[in-house]
Amino acid sequence: MGTWTIAFLLLAISAALLAFTTLTGATFEIAKILAFIFGVLAIVTLLAASRPRPDE
């Protein structure tokens, strides 16, 4: 899997967790915390993917 694919999968997981907590009206704090963690991981992965790679 490419780095971009992993980043977008992490974003999708984060969005799904947030949608689940919003639509059900539940107060699952662990789901919100996990969504935040996956979102941060996705942003870090996107930043890593956008960096120019050194010549090998």
Residue 1 and residue 5: Cα distance in Å, rounded?
6
Given a cut of 60, whether residue 56 has pLDDT beyond it is: no
Predicted confidence at residue 20, as pLDDT, reads: 82
- In tens, the pLDDT along 18-49 reads 888 888 876 777 777 888 888 888 888 888 87
Residue 23 and residue 55: Cα distance in Å, rounded?
47
- CB-CB contact of 14 with 39 (8 Å): yes
Predicted confidence at residue 1, as pLDDT, reads: 65
Residue 18 and residue 34: Cα distance in Å, rounded?
9
Predicted confidence at residue 28, as pLDDT, reads: 72
Predicted confidence at residue 18, as pLDDT, reads: 80
- CB-CB contact of 45 with 5 (8 Å): no
